[in-house]
A and B are shown apart, each in its own frame.
Chain A
Amino acid sequence: MKPFGVLDDVRKVFERSELGRGAREPLVAIESISCTFGEGELVSLLGPSGCGKTTLLRIIAGLMPKSAGSVRIRGEEVVEPHADFGFVFQTPNLMPWRSVIDNVLFPLEIIGRLDAAGRKRAHDLLEIVGLGDFHASRPHQLSGGMQQRVSLCRALVHQPTLILMDEPFGALDELTRMEMNDLLLDIRVRTRATVVFVTHSIAEAVYLSDRVLVFSRRPGRIVEDITVDLPYPRSAATRYTARFSELDQRASRALGVIKDVPPPVAHGASDDGPHGGVHGALQGGTHGH
């Protein structure tokens, strides 16, 4: 895989002036982060809330200046946003005064590429996410999950080569979230884009990613770089394999949510009970023992 993004010793300190009244000292949000990711890779940033994941994503996007270090995408230092990045926010963040299709077309309008091909792509994307019939609706007429799907289309419509996603499915119910995970994997195969995906869900990170970078508590550091060797395409069955629960457990351990359970035994049968999050990981561990 060609190296696509290189982060070298990235540091972010919020100065007292940025923190508002009563801040006695600067806040070190990110201590030092170095990593690389390859072209077409799907990398998750997994960490407890407040550890600096959003901050790092904003820095990669060029939306926020870093205090030290370097971020290079395709060998080029990021100092300002690139129009061929796509950003999906934690909330759907749609414009209430625009219809669904006009929300999706917004990026093309801004970068001046609103042509017939772009319009067709926007409609196709809505079709893919199952909202073809809703192009004329207003955002408030859609459920949270549907709105987030529109926002996914908006992030993809200008064919970005790098998609940055900040806990995009965090506010959705479990069932919708799983659907969205499969949708994302499907879209990623079609677009072959590189994805940096922020989440605080262990199962989601393992299910989606080629690699999971586990963050420490604030100030953020990478404490573990887990390569997820589960084959694509992944499906619900993937979640019940022994390898999945091993990886899930390794991530949980790196996060520090399980301490007293010994590491899993590598062979493990694949007919373990259901897994997911800490609970699943604990179960897998007991079995392995």
Chain B
Amino acid sequence: MVECTVRFRVGPMATERSAMFDLSRVDWQRLALPPLGLIVVVALWHVACVGLDIQVSVLPRPSLVLEAAIKRWDLLLSEGWVTLKETIYGFLLALVLGIPLAVAVANSRVLNLTFYPLLIALQSVPKVALAPILLVWLGIGIESKLAIAWLVAFFPVVVDTAAGLQSTPRELLELARSLRASPWQIFWKVQFPAALPFIMTGSKVAVTLAVIGAVIGEFVGSSEGLGYLLLSATSQINTPLAFASLFALAILGIVSYLAVVLVERLLAPLLPPTTRH
């Protein structure tokens, strides 16, 4: 969804140079085209359902999905809240544990050689395969979902943060060292700001993955959350509600992504200008 906005903004500006100076026109397209795309797709969906006479249990008409969403909004909201909590906790845990690990790995050859191969090995294990095991360990409560969300979000945070820390110009580190900066000062005033754009990139990937992780956890075993709602709705052949939960999940994903983008905007004064949009 967000991708699509970007493309619509860049497209016309790149092809018609004059559009760059015609602000009103660019703004109009930016505002109008994304909803228009949505309307076109929904209209096609409706036409297909009616025209091909598709059964409600296979693909409900958009109006039925909307109806289900309005009727069960409290349910969607409470289950969505559960999934959001799992996502956010998992994501934050990935930051809290991932950034220090990245710092250790980026600064110590010993720790790098000890932990990096393990991390790569961990990444190559499909997380879905770990979900049942985590369920056995942590039960069907929020802990197991949080653990899976954390697990999938962890890797991009560590890898991007470590890459960012290692990209700190050597001469900036020497400048700090020549002033006898403490390791803490070197980290906080030089390495961390230098790595911040990378950390933001990793976070955007991580938060999207955290949503997926939470839903995987709910699929494998749970009694709440949007993933659970989706499964139980399909098992009762309540396809409109299943679709409504699907859309709720999409909105949840977009909202958490935009939250990270918002943080990035707030940090903009600390970011080098090239990474600002």
A contacts, CB < 8 Å to B: 58, 61-63, 80-83, 85, 87, 89, 91, 93, 95-97, 106-107, 109-111, 138, 140, 158
Please give the distance in Å from B23's CB to the nearest CB on chain A. 23
Chain A residues contacting B43 (CB-CB under 8 Å) are none
* Complex: chain B residue closest to A158, CB-CB: B179
A110–B270 touching, CB < 8 Å: no
A93–B172 touching, CB < 8 Å: yes
B180–A97 touching, CB < 8 Å: no
Q: Which of B178, B181, B269 contacts A63 (CB 8 A)?
A: B178
B179–A83 touching, CB < 8 Å: yes
Q: SS class of chain A's interface: helix, strand, loop or mixed? A: loop
Jot down 23 A-B pairs with beta carbons below 8 A, ordered by A.
A81-B177, A81-B178, A81-B180, A83-B180, A85-B178, A87-B174, A89-B171, A89-B174, A93-B171, A93-B172, A96-B272, A96-B274, A97-B194, A97-B269, A97-B272, A106-B175, A106-B189, A109-B189, A110-B176, A110-B181, A110-B189, A111-B180, A158-B179
The tally of residues in B whose CB lies under 8 Å from a CB in A reads 23
Alpha-carbon separation in the docked complex, A267 to B3 (Å): 76
Alpha-carbon separation in the docked complex, A91 to B170 (Å): 12
Q: A81-B180, A95-B193, A110-B185 are in contact. List 6 more A-B contacts (CB 8 A).
A: A81-B178, A83-B179, A89-B171, A110-B181, A111-B180, A158-B179
Chain A residues contacting B174 (CB-CB under 8 Å) are 58, 63, 87, 89
* Complex: chain B residue closest to A166, CB-CB: B171
Chain A residues contacting B190 (CB-CB under 8 Å) are 95
Chain B residues contacting A81 (CB-CB under 8 Å) are 177-180
Known: A91-B171, A97-B193. A138 touches B179 (CB 8 A): no
Alpha-carbon separation in the docked complex, A138 to B275 (Å): 14
Alpha-carbon separation in the docked complex, A289 to B233 (Å): 102
B273–A140 touching, CB < 8 Å: yes
Alpha-carbon separation in the docked complex, A111 to B176 (Å): 10
Please give the distance in Å from A117's CB to the nearest CB on chain B. 18
B contacts, CB < 8 Å to A: 169, 171-172, 174-181, 185, 189-190, 193-194, 196, 269-274
Please give the distance in Å from A49's CB to the nearest CB on chain B. 17
* Complex: chain A residue closest to B193, CB-CB: A97
Alpha-carbon separation in the docked complex, A111 to B189 (Å): 13
Please give the distance in Å from A38's CB to the nearest CB on chain B. 23
Chain A residues contacting B169 (CB-CB under 8 Å) are 93
Please give the distance in Å from A22's CB to the nearest CB on chain B. 20
Q: Which of A61, A95, A111, A138 contacts B172 (CB 8 A)?
A: A95
* Complex: chain B residue closest to A64, CB-CB: B174
A97–B179 touching, CB < 8 Å: no
Please give the distance in Å from A75's CB to the nearest CB on chain B. 20
Alpha-carbon separation in the docked complex, A109 to B270 (Å): 17
B180–A80 touching, CB < 8 Å: yes
Chain B residues contacting A158 (CB-CB under 8 Å) are 179
Q: Which 3 A-B pairs have the closest CB atoms?
A: A96-B272, A110-B179, A81-B178
Alpha-carbon separation in the docked complex, A138 to B269 (Å): 10
Please give the distance in Å from A111's CB to the nearest CB on chain B. 6
A138–B273 touching, CB < 8 Å: yes
B193–A107 touching, CB < 8 Å: no
Alpha-carbon separation in the docked complex, A91 to B175 (Å): 12
Chain A residues contacting B176 (CB-CB under 8 Å) are 110
Chain A residues contacting B270 (CB-CB under 8 Å) are 97
Alpha-carbon separation in the docked complex, A96 to B195 (Å): 12
Known: A106-B189, A140-B273. A93 touches B175 (CB 8 A): yes
Alpha-carbon separation in the docked complex, A158 to B175 (Å): 13
B272–A107 touching, CB < 8 Å: no
Q: Which of A95, A96, A111 contacts B179 (CB 8 A)?
A: A111
